[in-house]
């Protein structure tokens, strides 16, 4: 216990100090209520997919001419695209605390309805101020979804399973952007960017009622597990908490050195990640004179690679019960791929595109292990709020990343400066993660 508390203060390196002994044989997911994966993971995946759909499709509207239609300058367009993360940042922690104290189910239900309405309203805008208000509002109502989902996973899945469960959640990101890249291209080509927003926003409202009917906050609240399965799962989750240090309140958790460092890692990581997500269509379109449908197909490729990489990394992390080693090396690879893609440039378009795909996959892959780490170093009474804080810092990085990357592309007329900026941020996050001292 003393060593674990020291780790919380940043003094023990996970790579030299194995986690506390746990009887893995008693925790195997194959023998532990396998219905959880069939009942919950599809619901979690679809819900987060819809959230990602309605935040990321602005990049396609930008490539399709929303700036021209509304009279938006390049600099203003990058700001509007990133305003989502401004609202997202401020409501992460309050949303996470509500979800942990009261109900993930209720919070996500109302979030689904509200963000669906905001997404549909984006297709009806007639002025820049209206668009700015909607983007901030969309960020506010989606803010609590990610930490709430991570809390739900921690209520249902054990330490031996969490990296994989988290990965199925985060897979809602690349898989959604994958099919969205194709579908959005066709919708814009057939009707326009307004219709795209309306058509892609409506499903969230309908899905809210499916979520409410099917999801419960804890295993004890469902009737599709046996009493024996409920008791065993609850016992394992409670036993995991016995090895945790005592942290009395959120303030103490937020001031823990390892939490502060993980906040910095996620912020810098997200600068590169969301700059990549928001402006990949524009980067591809500028690099080659191609139509919006082809841009959609090409934009989907990095996300296909990312899906495969994420599944492999999360499986390896859960099998080895190591987290850190599956985060910082991949971030370093992502930064290097960004840099090489920039150096090759448009003269070697396809090799540059392959490296861009590698960069995207390397930045996506560590999410499962990274978020599995947090409930393993903080007790249940505070880790939800800490998760919200870490994700809020990621949102701040995303705000800066999507804004500055878009601004640099508009200012210079090419993605070169944006590549360098994203490379520096992702490399910095890799270095910081490599020197973080944690015990998982």
pLDDT digits (tens, 9 = 90+) for 109-144: 999 999 999 989 988 888 888 988 998 999 899 888
pLDDT digits (tens, 9 = 90+) for 358-378: 888 898 899 989 988 888 888
pLDDT digits (tens, 9 = 90+) for 20-43: 334 444 444 446 888 999 999 999
Joined tokens for residue 188: 């814009």
pLDDT digits (tens, 9 = 90+) for 141-178: 988 898 999 999 999 999 889 999 999 998 887 788 77
- 147 compared with 352, residue with greater pLDDT: 147
Question: In this prediction, what percent of the chain has a pLDDT beyond 70?
Answer: 84
What's the mean pLDDT in 41-63?
A: 83
- 408 compared with 250, residue with greater pLDDT: 250
Top CATH class, 35-240: mainly alpha
How far is 62 from 197, CA to CA, in rounded Å? Answer: 12
What pLDDT does 277 receive?
A: 64
Domain 35-240 shares a fold with domain 249-435: yes
For residue 281, name the pLDDT band (cuts at 50, 70, 90). Answer: low
155-179 in b/e form (b: 16+ CB < 10 A) is bbbbbbbbbbbbbbbbbbbbbbbbe
pTM of the model: 0.79
Domain ranges, ordered by start, for the chain: 35-240, 249-435
- φ/ψ region of 297 (left if φ > 0, alpha if ψ in -120 to 50, else beta) reads alpha
The CATH architecture one would assign to domain 249-435 is Up-down Bundle (1.20)
Q: Of the ranges 140-149, 287-296, 306-315, 392-401, which one carries the lowest mean pLDDT score?
A: 287-296
What's the mean pLDDT in 378-402?
A: 85
Res. 16: pLDDT tops 60: no
- Return the ∠ at Cα 43 (arms to 325 and 201), rounded to 5°: 105
Most confident of 177-181, 269-273, 387-391: 387-391
What pLDDT does 223 receive?
A: 92
Q: Of the ranges 32-36, 291-295, 407-411, which one carries the lowest mean pLDDT score?
A: 291-295
Res. 218: pLDDT tops 90: yes
């Amino acid at each position: 216990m003393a060593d674990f508390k020291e780790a919380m203060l940043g003094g023990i390196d996970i790579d030299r100090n194995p986690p506390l002994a746990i009887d893995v044989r008693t925790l195997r997911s194959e023998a532990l209520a396998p219905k959880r994966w069939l009942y919950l993971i599809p619901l979690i995946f679809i819900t987060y997919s819809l959230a990602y759909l309605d935040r990321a499709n602005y990049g396609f509207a930008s490539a399709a001419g929303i700036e021209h239609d509304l009279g938006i300058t390049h600099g203003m367009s990058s700001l509007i695209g990133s305003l989502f993360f401004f609202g997202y940042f401020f409501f992460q922690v309050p949303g996470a605390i509500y979800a942990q104290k009261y109900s993930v189910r209720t919070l996500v239900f109302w979030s689904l309805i509200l963000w669906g309405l905001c997404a549909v309203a984006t297709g009806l805008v007639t002025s820049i101020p209206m668009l700015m208000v909607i983007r901030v509002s969309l960020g506010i109502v989606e803010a609590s979804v990610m930490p709430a989902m991570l809390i739900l996973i921690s209520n249902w899945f054990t330490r031996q399973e969490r990296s994989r469960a988290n990965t199925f959640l985060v897979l809602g990101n690349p898989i959604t952007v994958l099919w969205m890249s194709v579908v959005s291209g066709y919708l814009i080509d057939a009707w326009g960017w307004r219709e795209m927003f309306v058509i892609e926003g409506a499903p969230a409202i309908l899905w809210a009622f499916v979520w409410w009917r099917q999801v419960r906050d804890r295993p004890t609240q469902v009737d599709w597990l046996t009493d024996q399965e409920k008791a065993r799962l609850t016992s394992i989750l409670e036993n995991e908490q016995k090895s945790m240090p005592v942290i009395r309140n959120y303030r103490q958790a937020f001031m823990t050195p390892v939490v502060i460092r993980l906040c910095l890692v996620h912020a810098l990581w997200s600068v590169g990640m969301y700059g990549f997500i928001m402006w990949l269509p524009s980067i591809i379109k500028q690099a080659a004179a191609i139509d919006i449908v082809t841009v959609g197909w090409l934009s989907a490729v990095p996300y296909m690679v990312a899906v495969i990489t994420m599944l492999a990394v999360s499986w390896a992390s859960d099998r080895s019960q190591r987290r850190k080693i599956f985060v910082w090396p991949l971030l370093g690879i992502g930064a290097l791929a960004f840099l090489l893609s920039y150096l090759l440039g448009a003269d070697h378009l396809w090799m540059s595109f392959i490296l861009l795909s590698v960069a995207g996959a390397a930045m996506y892959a560590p999410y499962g292990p990274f978020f599995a780490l947090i409930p393993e170093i903080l007790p249940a009474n505070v880790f939800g709020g800490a998760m919200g804080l870490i994700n809020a810092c990621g949102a701040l990085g995303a705000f800066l990343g999507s804004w500055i990357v878009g601004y640099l592309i508009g200012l210079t007329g090419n993605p070169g400066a944006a590549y360098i900026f994203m490379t520096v941020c992702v490399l910095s996050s890799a270095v910081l993660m490599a020197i973080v001292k944690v015990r998982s």
